[in-house]
Amino acid sequence: MRFAGKNVLVTGAASGIGRATAILFAREGARVTIGDINAAGLAETAAMIGDAARPVSYDAEDHASCQALVETAATDGLDVVCNVAGMLKWGPTESFAVGDFERLLAINTTSVFVICQAALPHLVEAKGNIVNIGSTSGLRGMIYTAGYCASKHAVVGMTTALAAEYAARGVRVNAVCPGHVLTPMTQQAPPEGDLDWDMVMRGMPKLVDGSCAPEDIAEAVAFLASDQARKATGTVLVVDGGQLVS
Ligand SMILES: NC(=O)c1ccc[n+]([C@@H]2O[C@H](COP(=O)([O-])OP(=O)(O)OC[C@H]3O[C@@H](n4cnc5c(N)ncnc54)[C@H](O)[C@@H]3O)[C@@H](O)[C@H]2O)c1
């Protein structure tokens, strides 16, 4: 019960990593505000959690919606913010729509900034912390993912910058960088076109059965958010089944 009495916000909680993270925090005693654009998925997550869940529909592309989500989550104080919501779109660069590049940045990066900005006054008061979900694509370039990689490198940079800015005010800011996780995001059909699959597969996990379950990532998030990690800030924890080892 590492989070008994704590108020936690988890975005992207309608499926995948966000759902697993919200369930874990609730199981360990937290009251969890769960945010997502997918209201049906959010309702399913809320039903799995029970009374400890407060579902809130929001759109990460809409700044006012992100700010309203934080204010609802902070009704009784706010101790932990987990920025999990995100999108993946990939494909050969020359045929990649600029609008999709901008959308990746809006959902994966700008919304994280807006949510952190709105949450920080509450977290300063509570001496709380933030855990952002980056990606191995936030640490290394992967083929056909210029937009996604840009958006996740920015999340890693934002995490360490905020850690530096807020350390003296008692707020920790960390990130988890997952590798391949079995969620709806990674079950999309690949983009059309002549793809270099040898290069795509270089980025796959090297551990036997190396792809992660959402719960593997939730455990890392909960660790960083807990008092067990009270001396960790600006930490970027890679959980990738060995994708980045050479
Ligand atoms: N699955 C992987 O292999 C993997 C690897 C590295 C990082 N990640 C990151 O983990 C996070 C969670 O991804 P996942 O794998 O659980 O995928 P997922 O598709 O299961 O979950 C993403 C969630 O974000 C929500 N979302 C998307 N656009 C939104 C918007 N505009 N407003 C509000 N919510 C929105 C979706 O509805 C969905 O519930 C993402 O940030 C993703 O980039 C995933």
Q: How many CA atoms lie within 13 A of 48 on its CB side?
A: 20
The pair of structure tokens assigned to 142 is: 């992967």
The verdict on residue 16 lying in a domain is: yes
CATH label of the domain that carries residue 225: 3.40.50.720
Q: pLDDT tens, 128-172?
A: 999 999 999 999 999 999 999 999 999 999 999 999 999 999 999
Answer whether 130's CB lies under 8 Å from 81's CB: yes
Of the listed ranges 85-99, 131-145, 183-197, the one predicted with least confidence: 183-197
Least confident of 153-167, 177-191, 199-213: 199-213
pTM of the model as a whole:
0.98
| pLDDT tens per residue across span 5-28 | 999 999 999 999 999 999 999 999
Listing DSSP states for 211-226 in one string gives PBPHHHHHHHHHHHHS
Residue found under tokens 């690949």: 190
Structure confidence at residue 192 as a pLDDT band (50, 70, 90): confident
pLDDT at 202: 82
With respect to residue 84, please indicate whether it lies within any of the assigned structural domains: yes
**Helices and strands: H and E segment counts in the chain:** 8, 7
Phi-psi category of residue 53: left, alpha or beta, with phi > 0 → left and psi -120 to 50 → alpha = beta
CB atoms within 10 A of CB 189: 5
Which residues, including other chains, have CB under 8 Å from residue 94's CB and lie 6 or more apart?
none
Residue 168 Cα to ligand 1 midpoint, Å, equals 31
- Domain range holding 157? 7-238
Report yes or no on 2 lying in a domain: no
Q: Establish if 1 belongs to a structural domain.
A: no
148 catalytic residue (yes or no): yes
* Neighbour count for residue 146 (Cβ, 10 Å): 18
Of 58, 144, 148, 166, the catalytic one is 148
3-state helix, strand, coil in the chain (%, to 5): 50, 15, 35
| Contacts by residues 151-158 (CB-CB < 8 Å, ≥ 24 positions apart) | 151/86, 151/104, 151/105, 151/107, 151/108, 151/109, 152/108, 152/177, 154/105, 154/108, 154/109, 155/83, 155/108, 155/109, 155/112, 156/236, 158/109, 158/112, 158/113, 158/116, 158/132
Q: Which helix or strand (DSSP H or E) is residue 176 part of?
A: strand 172-178
State if residue 156 touches ligand 1 by the CB under 6 angstroms criterion: no
Domains identified in the chain, total number: 1
173 lines ligand 1 (CB under 6 A): no
Please give the single-letter amino acid code of residue 6: K
Residue 57 parent element (H or E) = strand 53-57
Is residue 135 within 6 Å of ligand 1 at its C-beta?
Answer: yes
In a domain, 243, yes or no: no
pLDDT at 17: 98
Q: Is residue 120 part of a domain?
A: yes
Looking at the domain assignment, is residue 246 inside a domain? no
pLDDT given for residue 26 in this prediction: 98
- 217-226 pLDDT, tens digit per residue, is 999 999 999 9
Q: For 26-35, write each residue's pLDDT tens digit.
A: 999 999 999 9
- Ligand 1 pocket mutation, candidates 10, 17, 23, 62, criterion most atoms within 8 A of CB: 17
Neighbours of 201 (CB within 10 A): 9
Q: Is residue 244 part of a domain?
A: no
